[in-house]
Amino acid sequence: MTDAVFAHRTVLLDEAVAALAVQPDGVYVDCTFGRGGHSRLILQQLGPQGRLIAFDKDPEAIAVATALAAEDPRFSIVHNGFAHFASELDALGVQQINGVLMDLGISSPQIDDGRRGFSFRFDAPLDMRMDTTRGQTAAQWLASADEADIAEVIKTYGEERFARKIAAAIVAQRLEQPLETTRELAVLVGKNVRTREQGQDPATRTFQAIRIFINRELDELKDVLPQTISRLTQGGRLAVISFHSLEDRIVKNFVRDASTTDTLPSWVPVRACDIAEAAVKPVGKAVRASEAEVSANPRARSAIMRIAERTGGQWQGGV
């Protein structure tokens, strides 16, 4: 299948790149290359001395990025998850950067390619790995995980009310025949979700939860955020696009904590200049897709972008 078949519309394309305030000779990182929408626009704004480094797990995204790297010497691609941000930059000899962009979640080509096993709309092997070259598939995990662990994943990452019932049904089913396809899982979940949210398939939350767990999406997000701040130069920007509340909550709380200094009682005699400056400061309010973008690309409806800027304050977060 080609990318022409699985078209991808980059969400908040102009807004995200504008948030980086790209300097022509700067060094930037696109933590989620996808099909390169953000990366290509960043490259358009970089001069001959600028540099862009991108990360991705997906072999198909890596193929697209490798072709771009062959055309543009300012661009390089890392086939790894962004949790390895600092070590991969070290390997490339990059210590300081001017901006980081993260477009979280799953891309349209991954969803629309039924072979990947991300969507209940297709009958395909129950894979769900973003990197199909390594790691455990969803089917393998569901065939061996404890019932309590399955229930916890579905409840925590899918915010599914019927997580226990779904987990019990999965374990009962595998005593006869382990789940192997997306359709088998979707049918089983549908039988165990008593009420449906309007316009949403009953399997939506369970599929989301298992995908997040298999790919360690939230764990990797928590790992990478401190790493980005430690590498940003003063004035450098971090822009993160999230697509569901669990991701956004992590980003929001991180920016809040990193932009907050120790507060002293009002009666303590201290000059403002003696109070330590926070490591980052939030930039503007959270940004959402416009009505026009949502109309053209309904998947942009849930997107929310938060922006932070590195200050001159000392970073205590490590990495």
- Asked whether residue 36 is marked as a ligand-binding residue, the answer is yes
239 beta partners? 101, 307
Q: Give the H/E segment covering residue 157.
A: helix 147-158
Separation between Cα atoms, residue 229 and residue 1, nearest integer Å: 38
- Asked whether residue 103 is marked as a ligand-binding residue, the answer is yes
305 beta partners? 241, 287
DSSP state of 72: -
- Asked whether residue 81 is marked as a ligand-binding residue, the answer is no
- Asked whether residue 136 is marked as a ligand-binding residue, the answer is no
- Asked whether residue 318 is marked as a ligand-binding residue, the answer is no
Closest to 132 measured CA to CA, from 219, 41, 59, 54: 59
- Asked whether residue 82 is marked as a ligand-binding residue, the answer is yes
- Asked whether residue 219 is marked as a ligand-binding residue, the answer is no
Query: Which residue in this structure is represented by tokens 């049918």?
Result: 187
Cα angle value 82/87/88 (rounded, 5°): 65
Separation between Cα atoms, residue 91 and residue 309, nearest integer Å: 25
- Give yes or no for a contact between 80 and 61, defined as CB atoms under 8 angstroms apart: no
Which residues line the annotated binding site?
36-38, 56, 82, 103, 110
Which residues line the annotated binding site for S-adenosyl-L-methionine?
36-38, 56, 82, 103, 110
